[in-house]
Homo-oligomer: A and B are copies of this chain.
Amino acid sequence: MITKNSEITPKADGRHVKLAGFVQHYRDLGGLAFIKLRDSTGIAQLVLKKGITPDSEFKKMEEIPRESVIIATGTVRKSKQAGAEVIVEEIINMNPAKTPLAIEFMGKVETDLSKRLDYRWLDLRNPKNLLVFSVSNTIEQSFRQFMLEKGFMEIHTPKLMASPSESGAELFEVTYFKKKAYLAQSPQFYKQMAIASGFERVFEFGQVYRAEESRTVKHTTEFLSFDMEKAWVESEEELMKLEEEIIVNAVNAVEKAHSEKIKELLGREIKTPKTPFPRIKVKEAVEKVAPHLLEADEFSELDSEGEKKLGEYIKQKHDQDFVFLTHFPYAVRPFYHMKREEDPTLTKSYDLLYKGMEITTGAQREHRPDVLRKQAKEKGLTEKGLGKYLEFFEYGCPPHGGWGFGVARFVMQLLGLPNVREANLVPRDPDRLLP
Contact = CB atoms under 8 A, between A and B. Distances in A.
Interface of A: 2, 20-23, 38-40, 67-69, 94-98, 101-102, 119-125, 129-130, 133-134, 137, 140-141, 148, 153-162, 172-177, 179, 181, 183, 190, 193-194, 196-201, 205-207, 209, 211, 213, 221-222, 224, 231-232, 367-369, 387-389, 391-399, 425-428, 430, 433-435
B125 A197 contact: yes
Given A133-B155, A176-B221, 9 more contacts: A23-B396, A95-B399, A120-B197, A123-B197, A124-B194, A156-B207, A193-B435, A387-B434, A392-B435
B172 A395 contact: no
B433 A160 contact: yes
A121 B392 contact: yes
A137 B147 CA distance: 12
Given A124-B197, A160-B222, A428-B160, A396 B96 contact: yes
A346 to B, nearest CB: 23
B173 A22 contact: no
Given A130-B199, A159-B207, A434-B387, A194 B395 contact: no
Contacts of A396: 22-23, 67-69, 94-97
User: How many copies of the chain does the oligomer comprise?
Assistant: 2
Nearest to A178: B430
9 contacts: A69-B396, A158-B222, A160-B428, A160-B433, A162-B434, A172-B175, A173-B175, A176-B433, A388-B434
Contacts of A197: 120-125, 129-130
Contact of A124 (B198, B213, B430): B198
B176 A172 contact: yes
Given A124-B198, A198-B22, A435 B153 contact: no
Contact of A98 (B134, B148, B395): B395
B94 A399 contact: yes
A97 to B, nearest CB: 4
A213 B177 CA distance: 8
Nearest to A211: B177
Given A197-B124, A426-B193, A430-B177, A398 B95 contact: yes
B200 A433 contact: no
A368 B96 CA distance: 9
B160 A141 contact: no
A213 B175 CA distance: 13
B125 A141 contact: no
A198 B125 contact: yes
Contact of A159 (B125, B137, B159): B159
Contact of A207 (B22, B98, B196, B206): B206
Contacts of A2: 232
A141 B162 CA distance: 30
Contacts of A391: 102, 119, 121, 435
Q: Which 9 A-B pairs have the closest CB atoms?
A: A124-B197, A388-B435, A162-B433, A69-B396, A97-B396, A97-B395, A40-B200, A68-B396, A98-B394
Given A174-B183, A198-B21, A199-B124, A148 B154 contact: no
B177 A387 contact: no
A435 B165 CA distance: 11
Contacts of A183: 174
- Indicate the member of A67, A96, A160 with the most B CB atoms within 10 Å: A160
Contacts of A157: 425-426
Given A141-B154, A160-B433, A398-B95, A40 B199 contact: yes
B120 A395 contact: no
B181 A433 contact: yes
A421 to B, nearest CB: 12
B20 A232 contact: yes
Nearest to A431: B177
- Indicate the member of A129, A153, A156 with the most B CB atoms within 10 Å: A156
A101 B395 contact: yes
Given A20-B232, A426-B157, A397 B95 contact: yes
A391 B394 CA distance: 53
Nearest to A68: B396
